[in-house]
Amino acid sequence: MKTLMNYIDGTFVPAQSGDTIEDINPATGMVIAHIPRSTKADVELAAASAKSAQADWNALTLDQRADWLDAIADALQAKHEAIAQAESLDTGKPISLARRVDATRSVDNFRFFADFARKQQPLTFEMSDAMNFVERNGLGVVGLITPWNLPLYLMSWKVAPALLMGNSIVAKPSEMTPLTANILAETLDELNLPRGVFNLVHGLGPEVGQGILEHPLINGISFTGGTATGRIVAATAAPMFKKLSLELGGKNATIVLEDADLDQAVQGAVKAAFTNSGQVCLCGSRIMVHASIADEFIKRFVGEVAAMRIGEPSDEATQIGTVISMDHLEKVEFYINLAIEEGGTILTGGTRSMMGGVGPTPEGAYLAPTVIGGLSHLSRCATEEIFGPVVTVHTFDRLAEVTEMANATDYGLAGSIWTQDVEVGKALAKTIETGIVWINTWLHRDLRTPFGGVKHSGVGREGGQWSLGFFSETTNICVMNPRELGD
Ligand code: TXE
């Protein structure tokens, strides 16, 4: 049983209140750690420390901060297995996924931004009689608030560019997945990162999270999480003119055109649907397949899904672990039952009640990957975010229908299109209201590209230049050419 601490002003400390929250292992229902139940009082200490550290940190050169990011990447790489084990324990995701995705990408995020920084050129704009120099400085103190599905992957995605651009940080992980944020704090402490540059506060969103949103010393908020919470973030921070980046929910379409390579499309659709038990905002939770190939596609897709191995997260062979918690399992089951009420048919999977004990232990939040047919693309299950191992399958006859079907949701984050005619795929992609469309692949990521969504999937983009831009303020310095001064 671990007792985690906040990391404030270079020191590990409990919440001032002394109160704690239990961190539960979703595969066993057992308490694996206690974390500080921080409040605004703890945010006050963290923000003050961050404020005092920020000017010196910002005064370093971009290259010096890039060197820090490389040192962090090296140190996290040395803890790759520990990060993967902790992430799997905290989230219930298969250890193979935690290694391949969570731990690896957490290291890569720091490495990428270090390398990306070194490729930056000074930003100047020449006029006939003057030269413009664009200076970039940190926002100051930034608040980073992250969710439970990809804990360190998403926290490092924000911490790396925030540090790089000269900001100091008050970070808050989800109260359901604190372990790897703690590993990050320990690592930065071991590296002797100047105290106050990175602060970590644990606790409940409406308490310590809200405290971050409200704190006057915090100039920018980068938030990843649910759309409902995103609304609270915006409502709180916008009137204070804080800079905001919101990465919210998704309800993404996997579109299979009649000329698709069926084997490739089936494998891609399964990966998009059930990676991390569907708990990735980019997951393809609505499958739209051309009527002419629907029977064959659905037969193969359902066969692959039914054969997926549900097991202990620690088992190397496990493909489907648990969802994040019993509460979330019940939320997902609600949608499966609603689908049945809406006239849907369970093609494979379903709720625990339909199949009895699904996973290796009844205490575990296990749910079989579930495929639902027979629903309108306008049904609640096909338009609302479920964020679990559940997909709906729909058919279309004409390409012209697909755009309307794919856009018939309040979300607009991502999508994938499977076709052997890339030009048709690209033309269709341009009609889909999302921030990202993959063609004949899914979750293939170039970290230089803009990441984010539209509509209820968020505001802003992060990645490459977009991250550097979000985590900095520009000052344009315009200098008249000396010879002009004589006029
Ligand atoms: O989100 P929450 P969760 C979405 C996905 C899913 C949800 C699940 O749609 O529905 O997030 O993640 C903190 N003031 N995405 O449950 O509740 C909370 O403590 C300040 C999409 O974690 O929004 C946690 O640290 N903070 C995403 C964080 O917000 C508050 C990828 C997120 O919590 C708060 C992952 C408040 N009032 C999940 N209330 C994507 N687009 O990439 C809560 N929090």
Domains of the chain: 2-248+457-476 (3.40.605.10), 253-439 (3.40.309.10)
Catalytic: which of 87, 175, 207, 281? 281
Distance 146 CA to ligand 1 centre (A): 6
Single out the residue of 140, 154, 112 nearest to residue 246, CA to CA: 154
Record the pTM: 0.97
Q: Which of these is catalytic: 87, 207, 247, 304?
A: 247
In testing the pocket of ligand 1, which one of 35, 39, 109, 145 has its CB within 8 Å of the most ligand atoms?
A: 145
Q: How far is the CA of 155 from the centre of ligand 1 (A)?
A: 12
- Taking each helix axis as running N to C, give the angle between helix 291-306 and helix 262-274, from 0 to 180 degrees, rounded to the nearest 10: 50
> DSSP string covering 254-277, please?
EEE-TTS-HHHHHHHHHHHHHGGG
Compute the distance from residue 248 Cα to the ligand 1 centre, in Å: 8
Which residue has 């690896």 as its token pair?
104
Of 174, 329, 383, best ligand 1 pocket probe by most atoms within 8 Å of the beta carbon: 174
Atom number of ligand 1 nearest to Cα 173: 25
Q: What residues form DSSP beta bridges with 95?
A: none
| Sheet containing strand 243-247, strands side by side | 11-13, 6-8, 198-200, 168-172, 141-145, 218-224, 243-247, 458-459
Strand pairing class (438-439; 252-256): unpaired
Give the β-pairing of 20-24 and 31-36: antiparallel
Query: What is residue 476's three-state secondary structure?
Result: strand
Cα(332)–Cα(388) distance, rounded to whole angstroms?
6
**Tokens at residue 209, please?**
């999270």
Cβ atoms 461, 451 nearer than 8 A: yes
Nearest to 389, CA basis, from 407, 405, 367: 367
Residue-level pLDDT, tens digit, the chain, 487 residues:
899 999 999 999 999 999 999 999 999 999 999 999 999 999 999 999 999 999 999 999 999 999 999 999 999 999 999 999 999 999 999 999 999 999 999 999 999 999 999 999 999 999 999 999 999 999 999 999 999 999 999 999 999 999 999 999 999 999 999 999 999 999 999 999 999 999 999 999 999 999 999 999 999 999 999 999 999 999 999 999 999 999 999 999 999 999 999 999 999 999 999 999 999 999 999 999 999 999 999 999 999 999 999 999 999 999 999 999 999 999 999 999 999 999 999 999 998 888 887 889 999 999 999 999 999 999 999 999 999 999 999 999 999 999 999 999 999 999 999 999 999 999 999 999 999 999 999 999 999 999 999 999 999 999 999 999 999 999 999 999 987 665 5
Residue 484 has a pLDDT of 61
As given in the structure block, the two tokens for residue 91 are 């989230």
Q: Which residues pair with 209 in a beta bridge?
A: none
- Residue whose CA is closest, atom 9 of ligand 1? 249
Q: How far is Cα 103 from Cα 345, in angstroms, rounded to an integer?
A: 37
Q: Which residue type sits at 23?
A: D
Looking at ligand 1, which atom is closest to the CA of residue 148? 22
- The pLDDT, as a whole number, for residue 126 is 97
Ligand 1 atom at shortest distance from the alpha carbon of 206: 37
Atom number in ligand 1 closest to CA 229: 23
In this prediction, residue 179 carries a pLDDT of 98
Please enumerate in sequence order all residues whose Cβ is within 8 A of that of 150, keeping only pairs 6 or more positions apart, or say none: 101, 102, 105, 276, 280
In angstroms, the CA 425 to CA 420 distance is 8
* Atom number of ligand 1 nearest to Cα 203: 19
Q: What is the pLDDT of residue 185?
A: 99
Ligand 1 environment, Cβ below 6 A: 145-149, 172, 174-175, 205-206, 209-210, 213, 224-226, 229, 232, 247-250, 281, 385, 387
Task: Give first-to-last CA distance, the chain, whole Å.
Answer: 76
* Predicted pLDDT at 485: 60
Q: Is 342 a catalytic residue?
A: no
| Rounded Cα gap, residues 282 and 278, in angstroms | 9
Q: Evaluate the CA torsion angle 230, 245, 21, 44 in order and state its sign.
A: negative
Q: How many helices (H) and strands (E) does the chain have?
A: 17, 23
b or e along 245-284 (b: 16 or more beta carbons within 10 Å of the residue's beta carbon)? bbbbbbbbbbbbbeebeeeebbbbbbbbbbbbbbbbbbbb
Q: What is the CA radius of gyration of the chain?
A: 23
Residue 247 known to be catalytic: yes
- The torsion angles phi and psi of 13, rounded to 5 degrees, stand at -135, 155
Task: Find the helix or strand (DSSP H, E) in which 21 lies.
Answer: strand 20-24
Instruction: Write the residue with the smallest CA distance to atom 13 of ligand 1.
Output: 205
